[in-house]
Amino acid sequence: MEMKNDSHEGLFGLIGIEYEEVGPDRCVLTLDVDERHLQPYGLVHGGIYCVLAETAASVGAAVYAMEHDMAGAVGVSNSTDFYRSMRQGTIRAVATPIHRGRSQQVWQVEMSDPVEDRLVSRAQVRLHNLADSAVIGGTSG
Question: How far from each other are the two terminal CA atoms of the chain, in whole angstroms?
Answer: 17
Look at residues 39, 21, 38 and name the one whose alpha carbon lies nearest to residue 30.
21
Catalytic pick among 9, 20, 54, 67? 54
Residue 12 DSSP class: H
110 catalytic per annotation: no
CB-neighbour burial class of residue 46 (10 A; exposed 0-12, middle 13-18, buried 19+): middle
Residues recognised as catalytic: 54
